[in-house]
Amino acid sequence: MLVAVGLNQKGATVADREVLALPSEELLDALTAFQALDGVDEVAIVSTCYRVEIFAAARCPAAAELSLRHAMEARAGRPLPLFELQGEEAFRHLVRVASSLESAILGEPQILGQVKDAFHRAAEAGAAGKELASVLSRALAAAKRVRTETAVGRAGVSWGNAAAALASKVLGPLAGRRVAVIGAGEMARLTAQHMRDERASVVVLNRTLANAEALAAEVGGEARPLEALEQELLRADVVVSAAPAAPPALAPAVMQRILHARRKRIVMVDLAVPRAIPAETGALPDVYLCDVDDLDRVMKAAMAERAQAAQHAERIADEEVQKFARAEAERRAAPLIQEMRSRASAIAREEVERTLRRLGEDPELAKRLDAMAGSIVSKILHAPSTRLRQAVCDGGANDPLVAAAVQIFDLSAAPAARGDAA
């Protein structure tokens, strides 16, 4: 059975997480140590800035949970706020992690690769085998559905994303467009980073050139003194003002002259409160001025889209967990059903042979009687097999129907109760 034990940003502090953090050079030893624990057959470790989580295939889940908890707390040297999950709930958690539904930022793309890498490294180390490989395959398929069937990961929520969205409505894709960012503070940095991610050409202008140069180096752009703004306005497609006061070049009279010379549209984004760019400048022909209220509306729409996407993603996760549960029920019920069918087939075969001894050897008749006997066995046991699979899915060996079948058919095989074995 799948077991998950660990901690993440939802229930643990940075101090809790950092005592369990696993540098790459320690991963192999950790995998070996955890796999050797009581009840654990296979193990993989997902260790990132936000989480340290162990996923294990366990022949005895209760023992595995206990030994994993003790080992993790021994490593930390103190008690930890660890979560413990089994079976379907452990799989649900893995799907949510891989789909970014458990991430600090919904939709962030890195976690899927981190989960893949964690399981692949465990396999390479010999710590993860067929069972965890099957679990990973199902979790990745679920994460792929979330990415392709929902807007999770596509609707960004940030000032920079909102500024890019508004500029794109006017200009189309920003790739190759020239974006002038006025200022070098935190808002300027976040917006410049997002414009870079949109493959725009970023120019940073600031009163202190050294600060402009530092930000430009960070985003792979150019740095210019603020005095060069008027020249830059002749070329820029987008101007983002992240300074508390607008430079003289953004005054209506100056902008009117610049617009006459450039003869093309320009998007201006004012991130300051109070607003730094005069409303009269925004009223000029070919000027599209956006302020923080415009950005806020875009972000609220993006947040609403994210929330709707998250609901859709949760439904997909539920569907995939149900598939996992059915597959697990099939696997756990297989020995019981196989023994039931084997006993019935053996009885049918004995009766066919007894009949043939009375009627005499006849290969064609024997073939037909065998086929008839097999068909009768399959048809009689179809409904019991279906009911048993469902019973195993619902409660394992603890389900009354399973116990009754074992008694009625005198079976030795029985599926593990949930929480008792893999």
**Residue 264, CA atoms < 13 Å, CB-side half-sphere:** 11
The verdict on whether residue 282 carries a ligand-binding annotation is no
Across the range 137-163, mean pLDDT stands at: 83
pLDDT tens digits, one per residue of 170-200 = 999 999 999 999 999 888 998 999 899 999 9
What pLDDT is attached to residue 186? 86
- Residue-by-residue DSSP string for 337-390: HHHHHHHHHHHHHHHHHHHHHHH---HHHHHHHHHHHHHHHHHHHHHHHHHHHH
Query: Parallel, antiparallel, or unpaired for β 238-241 and 266-270?
Result: parallel
For residue 15, the one-letter residue type is: A
Judged on CB neighbours under 10 Å (0-12, 13-18, 19+), 143 is buried
Longest dimension (CA), the chain: 114
CATH code for the domain of 133: 3.30.460.30
Residue 276 shares a structural domain with residue 340: no
Query: Parallel, antiparallel, or unpaired for β 201-206 and 51-58?
Result: unpaired
28 located within any domain: yes
What pLDDT is attached to residue 380? 87
What pLDDT is attached to residue 415? 54
CATH code for the domain of 282: 3.40.50.720
Residue 216 shares a structural domain with residue 245: yes
What pLDDT is attached to residue 418? 46
Give, for 289, the enclosing helix (H) or strand (E). strand 287-290
What pLDDT is attached to residue 259? 94
- Dihedral sign for Cα atoms in the order 119, 123, 125, 126: positive
What pLDDT is attached to residue 138? 93
The verdict on whether residue 53 carries a ligand-binding annotation is no
Whole-number Å distance between alpha carbons of 125 and 29: 10
The verdict on whether residue 183 carries a ligand-binding annotation is yes
3-state helix, strand, coil in the chain (%, to 5): 60, 15, 25
Q: In the 3-class helix/strand/coil scheme, how is 109-169 assigned residue by residue?
A: CHHHHHHHHHHHHHHHCCCCCHHHHHHHHHHHHHHHHHHHHCCCCCCCCCHHHHHHHHHHH
Question: Residues near 78 by Cβ (< 8 Å), separated by ≥ 6?
Answer: 19
Q: Is the pLDDT of residue 157 over 70?
A: no
The verdict on whether residue 13 carries a ligand-binding annotation is no
What pLDDT is attached to residue 265? 94
The verdict on whether residue 109 carries a ligand-binding annotation is yes
Percent of the chain past pLDDT 70, that is, above it, reads: 94
What pLDDT is attached to residue 422? 41
CA distances from 2 to 76, 319, 394 (A): 24, 18, 17
Q: Is the pLDDT of residue 264 over 80?
A: yes
Question: Residues near 92 by Cβ (< 8 Å), separated by ≥ 6?
Answer: 85, 317, 321
Residues annotated as catalytic are 49
Residue 346 shares a structural domain with residue 271: no
Residue 76 shares a structural domain with residue 132: yes
From 17-31, 284-298, 387-401, the region with the lowest mean pLDDT = 387-401
Q: Is the pLDDT of residue 419 over 50?
A: no
Residue 11 shares a structural domain with residue 112: yes
Q: Is the pLDDT of residue 10 over 80?
A: yes
What pLDDT is attached to residue 243? 83
Residue 238: other Cβ atoms inside 10 A: 29
171 located within any domain: yes
At 41 the three-state DSSP class reads: strand
The verdict on whether residue 110 carries a ligand-binding annotation is yes
pTM metric for this prediction: 0.65
pLDDT tens digits, one per residue of 194-243 = 899 999 999 999 999 999 999 999 999 999 999 999 999 999 999 999 88
Residue 84 shares a structural domain with residue 187: no
Q: Are 335 and 409 in contact (CB under 8 A)?
A: no
Residue 90 shares a structural domain with residue 197: no
CA angle centred on 357, ends 353 and 358, rounded to 5°: 120
Q: Is the pLDDT of residue 394 over 70?
A: no
Q: Is the pLDDT of residue 387 over 50?
A: yes
pLDDT tens digits, one per residue of 50-94 = 899 999 999 889 999 999 999 999 999 999 999 999 999 999 999
Closest CA to 381 of 340, 332, 348: 340
Q: How many domains does the chain divide into?
A: 3
Domain end position, chosen among 149, 172, 200: 149
The verdict on whether residue 184 carries a ligand-binding annotation is yes
314 located within any domain: no
The verdict on whether residue 4 carries a ligand-binding annotation is no
What pLDDT is attached to residue 384? 81
Residue 240 shares a structural domain with residue 348: no
Residue 6 shares a structural domain with residue 140: yes
Whole-number Å distance between alpha carbons of 412 and 165: 65
Give, for 259, the enclosing helix (H) or strand (E). helix 252-262
Domain end position, chosen among 249, 276, 292: 292
Residue 12 shares a structural domain with residue 71: yes
Of 114 and 331, the structure prediction assigns the larger pLDDT to 114
Place of tokens 């195993």: 392
Residue 15 shares a structural domain with residue 144: yes
Provide the 8-state DSSP code for 416: P
Residue 79 shares a structural domain with residue 136: yes
Whole-number Å distance between alpha carbons of 44 and 94: 12
Whole-number Å distance between alpha carbons of 362 and 384: 33
Q: Is the pLDDT of residue 420 over 50?
A: no
Mean pLDDT of the chain: 88
Domain end position, chosen among 95, 127, 149: 149
Enclosing domain of residue 362: 322-408
Whole-number Å distance between alpha carbons of 249 and 241: 12
Beta strands in 183-252 (DSSP E): 201-206, 222-225, 238-241
The verdict on whether residue 108 carries a ligand-binding annotation is yes
What pLDDT is attached to residue 93? 96
Phi and psi angles of residue 317, each rounded to the nearest 5 degrees, phi first: -60, -40
The verdict on whether residue 156 carries a ligand-binding annotation is no
From 54-68, 216-230, 288-302, 402-416, the region with the lowest mean pLDDT = 402-416
Of 18 and 200, the structure prediction assigns the larger pLDDT to 200
Across the range 101-129, mean pLDDT stands at: 89
The verdict on whether residue 288 carries a ligand-binding annotation is no
From 9-18, 249-258, 302-311, the region with the lowest mean pLDDT = 302-311
What pLDDT is attached to residue 400? 72
